[in-house]
Chain A
């Protein structure tokens, strides 16, 4: 019997992230008192170094040609762009955590180890082309995120958020697993390539795909499976929210894309129509609910749900151009969304036992207090609303154009109408920052930690550059 040879160079970035997570734990065991000797940021430094190294390895690896590790993990162009999006979101979220975490927790090694494990899970999920690998990767990222959501143990809302996220997430994992079992029942294969080659039709594939849509829809926070998202996003520490709202979406979208491609025997019209209605429902519900929020973070949570709807438009289109648009939008979304959450985290008042959420008026009069911060926030809001020449505009342009090209004009129109609705609540924040007086409860001096400032500067720069240089970037992705 022949034993396989494994080419680990295909998953080098993932291995770097994993080993960094283990190193963070080992360092905590070897030097338990490092924190009291002024080295309390050592785990953060280590984690950031690991993420940057993984990013460099992804960039420098040249073309990812689609070679696979035993047909389980694939290194293709899609996985490469996903790696870049997730690592970017993770690095930005880590910069936010740097100054935010010490306010409420002393368990830094645990935080960063779980954070890196979640990143590793996302990276593996994006490379999975086999059902068991896909499920295990999804569970790694989910379990790490459940714990990170409830990481602020002194705060009741954090525990509630983690519990809701966990219960509904575990439930949705069951759906996904059932879908995988039906795929196996229909084809006797677990590798997506084999499943596609079998071309088995019929009830089992259809039911399996439907269950997959439900399971991944939960992770993507697609309506009507979005019920956990507002609470989880609001109750989680803001840097975690920023990271997971981008990273989980990106990884789950890539998995969804791979699965619908494999279920080729199910008529395209069936799943595309189902996804189109989910997309319509998601953006409409997300935007309408966001209009009525009194907390800035919760408003951004609903905005994040709406954006899951926009992103689905690209999957519905079903073409290569559609998914290229999704990848472009994910980059744009990583910058503008994490930027917005970064400013929300700066406006919060992290207290001893509970973090006081930034209300919808917390940003009022920000221009008078911190002009550059207000300008950056205005950029994020305008970009999220989809106003040119920022990144979000071009992201939506490519998405909706791809939808029109493949005959989904009504969905594109719905997306545009939704963007108009969303402009109301995004612009309300902008108007407040420049026109309104600061609310009485706003503290006079807004502290600006260096790491968070760097994150805001980077995201603002990204939002602007991805807008101004959208065409060359997009051509780079679709090549």
Chain B
């Protein structure tokens, strides 16, 4: 696969990007504007806003993000493995089994410790 095979993707981007850009810009040029105070308030599901939206998030979001990265990297290892598995045969199956098995223990641990539960 050479980089010339990526040409369709480039063409797609060249068409899609202006399309999206125009779709965003056009209403702000053409649309009627009639602002008032109520309209400019931040909407909190019909509630009257009571605090700055930029407040501190609970640390659980961070745990989710860290676990996301770890499993993301784990998945990345699967791509080249899947492509070359027909040459690696049973050897490849075993080595990926060990890799995933070790991470499975970590996954079970994280699960049991309730990192996926919202307190």
CB within 8 Å of B: which residues of A? 1, 3, 22, 25-26, 28-29, 32
Report yes or no: A29 in contact with B112, Cβ–Cβ below 8 A.
yes
Query: Using an 8 Å CB-CB cutoff, how does the interface string of B45-76 with A read, 1 for contact, 0 for none?
Result: 00000000000000000000000000000000
**Closest Cβ–Cβ distance, residue A166 to chain B (whole Å):** 13
CA distance A266 to B12 in the complex (A): 51
Report yes or no: A28 in contact with B89, Cβ–Cβ below 8 A.
no
For the residues of A in contact with B, the DSSP-based class is helix
**Closest Cβ–Cβ distance, residue B85 to chain A (whole Å):** 12
Q: Give 7 A-B pairs besides A3-B89, A22-B102 with Cβ atoms closer than 8 angstroms.
A: A22-B105, A25-B106, A25-B109, A26-B105, A28-B109, A29-B108, A29-B112
CA distance A32 to B109 in the complex (A): 11
Instruction: Kindly list the 4 A-B residue pairs having the minimum CB-CB distance in the complex, ordered from nearest.
Output: A3-B91, A29-B112, A25-B109, A22-B105
**Closest Cβ–Cβ distance, residue B112 to chain A (whole Å):** 5
Question: Is B88's beta carbon under 8 Å from chain A?
Answer: yes
Report yes or no: A29 in contact with B109, Cβ–Cβ below 8 A.
yes
Report yes or no: B112 in contact with A1, Cβ–Cβ below 8 A.
no
Query: Using an 8 Å CB-CB cutoff, how does the interface string of B76-106 with A read, 1 for contact, 0 for none?
Result: 0000000000011101000000000010011
Contacts of B108 in A (CB 8 A): 29
Contacts of B87 in A (CB 8 A): 1
CB within 8 Å of A: which residues of B? 87-89, 91, 102, 105-106, 108-109, 112
CA distance A22 to B91 in the complex (A): 23
Contacts of B105 in A (CB 8 A): 22, 25-26
**Closest Cβ–Cβ distance, residue A137 to chain B (whole Å):** 15
CA distance A195 to B108 in the complex (A): 41
Contacts of B102 in A (CB 8 A): 22
**Closest Cβ–Cβ distance, residue B59 to chain A (whole Å):** 12
Task: Report which residue of B87, B106, B109, B112 has the largest number of chain A beta carbons within 10 angstroms of its beta carbon.
Answer: B109
In the complex, the chain B residue whose C-beta lies closest to that of A29 is B112
**Closest Cβ–Cβ distance, residue A37 to chain B (whole Å):** 18
**Closest Cβ–Cβ distance, residue A102 to chain B (whole Å):** 20
Report yes or no: A32 in contact with B112, Cβ–Cβ below 8 A.
yes
CA distance A357 to B54 in the complex (A): 40
Contacts of A25 in B (CB 8 A): 105-106, 109
Contacts of A26 in B (CB 8 A): 105
**Closest Cβ–Cβ distance, residue B86 to chain A (whole Å):** 11
15 examples of A-B residue contacts, CB within 8 angstroms: A1-B87, A3-B88, A3-B89, A3-B91, A22-B102, A22-B105, A25-B105, A25-B106, A25-B109, A26-B105, A28-B109, A29-B108, A29-B109, A29-B112, A32-B112
**Closest Cβ–Cβ distance, residue B100 to chain A (whole Å):** 13
CA distance A29 to B109 in the complex (A): 7
CA distance A3 to B102 in the complex (A): 23
Contacts of B112 in A (CB 8 A): 29, 32
**Closest Cβ–Cβ distance, residue A111 to chain B (whole Å):** 14
CA distance A32 to B88 in the complex (A): 39
**Closest Cβ–Cβ distance, residue A106 to chain B (whole Å):** 12
Contacts of B88 in A (CB 8 A): 3
CA distance A29 to B87 in the complex (A): 37
Contacts of B91 in A (CB 8 A): 3
In the complex, the chain A residue whose C-beta lies closest to that of B87 is A1
CA distance A28 to B112 in the complex (A): 10
CA distance A26 to B88 in the complex (A): 30
**Closest Cβ–Cβ distance, residue A24 to chain B (whole Å):** 10
**Closest Cβ–Cβ distance, residue A415 to chain B (whole Å):** 44
Contacts of A32 in B (CB 8 A): 112
CA distance A25 to B104 in the complex (A): 12
**Closest Cβ–Cβ distance, residue B70 to chain A (whole Å):** 12
CA distance A463 to B42 in the complex (A): 70
**Closest Cβ–Cβ distance, residue B65 to chain A (whole Å):** 17
Contacts of A29 in B (CB 8 A): 108-109, 112
In the complex, the chain A residue whose C-beta lies closest to that of B112 is A29
CA distance A22 to B103 in the complex (A): 10
**Closest Cβ–Cβ distance, residue B103 to chain A (whole Å):** 11
CA distance A26 to B87 in the complex (A): 34
**Closest Cβ–Cβ distance, residue B1 to chain A (whole Å):** 20
Contacts of A1 in B (CB 8 A): 87
**Closest Cβ–Cβ distance, residue B69 to chain A (whole Å):** 13
CA distance A22 to B105 in the complex (A): 8
**Closest Cβ–Cβ distance, residue B63 to chain A (whole Å):** 14
CA distance A326 to B106 in the complex (A): 37
CA distance A29 to B108 in the complex (A): 8
Contacts of A28 in B (CB 8 A): 109
Contacts of A22 in B (CB 8 A): 102, 105
CA distance A464 to B91 in the complex (A): 51
CA distance A406 to B10 in the complex (A): 63
**Closest Cβ–Cβ distance, residue B114 to chain A (whole Å):** 11
